[in-house]
Amino acid sequence: MDSLALLCTGALLAGGLFWFVCILGPAEQKGKRAVDLSGGSISAEKVQDNYKQYWSFFRRPKEIETAEKVPDFVDTFYNLVTDIYEWGWGQSFHFSPSIPGKSHRDATRIHEEMAVDLIDVKPGDRILDVGCGVGGPMRAIASHSRAQVVGITINEYQVNRARLHNKKAGLEDLCEVVCGNFLGMPFQDNSFDGAYSIEATCHAPKLEEVYAEIFRVLKPGSLYVSYEWVTTEKYRADNPEHVDIVQGIERGDALPGLRNYKDIAETARKVGFEIVKERDLAKPPAQPWWTRLKMGRIAYWRNHILVTILSALGIAPKGTVDVHEMLFVTADHLTRGGETGIFSPMHMILCRKPE
């Protein structure tokens, strides 16, 4: 009887461990594993120092307004968070509205495909992904449109990850990844048939500069669509709760400063674009985009325990626990931003470069 009880207890523990690690496991099962978490291009022994440097950036607000320092700041951020994002969220570093009856992965893919449908490209067209990350959207868009997609990211580690994923997906012939700053892109004038950015240009210290670069590289008559992070008409700068939410989002997502929704079209027109369409994709009848953050709290604690153990064992770099905790706190600010309606990560603007 004792042996049977021991056997049953062992089976329950094994089953619980399997459920904890595998069923509630990482979002991208075929991507990054917990034991492979790193600091991107930052050496393991410097991850904690770089995290402290990143956080101290916000204690010196004047530096946030210094445009030349922002690219390095954003690059450091993505070195710190890329593996955690990919492990816990997936290969598409953005949000999407929930779709009843659809998985998060399907909802994400549909949101990405809509971007390329809006810019009306044909198979074989050459289009630009502005701020491509590890290339989740790029691969979905290339598969859907059969266009040639060129992605640019400032982070060299993401370039390597994107190329690896492109090869695994058999899409290296359609997807090209370039390391560079989207404020000064290494592309010729009038060289792309279309362009898109999905929650990426929020990292630009001045939106006008990145829009001007996109305008430069697009062929006349071509379309550009962007999903922008903005404060909405509900945001009140004299409301302490609103200010706390916005500052929390800025600190936890490497933003020089969130823009108001009214600034987006004005900036696009300033650099020469014609506005074709503009609307907030987060507004009803769209289902909430932040539910995935709320539903992931159990997985977060599972992940946090695992990261803490791996860090204590020296498998994950020191500082990984701090970065993971920072992202959880940021998720709370993002959720509050969505619930109060003062923040949207998907204010869509569709623009055309005149003939």
Q: Can you give the residue ranges of every domain in the chain?
A: 41-354
- Antiparallel, parallel or unpaired: β 274-280 and 148-153: unpaired
- CATH architecture of structural domain 41-354: 3-Layer(aba) Sandwich (3.40)
32 has pLDDT over 90: no
Partners of 352 in beta bridges: 223, 274
Kindly indicate the confidence band of residue 20, based on its pLDDT and cuts at 50, 70 and 90: very low
Distance of alpha carbon 22 from alpha carbon 33, whole angstroms: 11
Q: What is the pLDDT averaged over residues 212-217?
A: 98
pLDDT value for 24: 46
225 has pLDDT over 90: yes
Q: What is the pTM of this model?
A: 0.90
Token pair of 324, please? Answer: 């993971």
pLDDT digits (tens, 9 = 90+) for 83-110: 999 988 999 999 999 999 999 999 999 9
Q: What angle do CA 351, 259, 65 make, to 5 degrees?
A: 115
pLDDT value for 307: 87
pLDDT value for 23: 45
| Bigger pLDDT: 311 vs 272 | 272
Peptide bond just before 285 cis, omega within 30 deg = yes
Token pair of 298, please? Answer: 């159990």
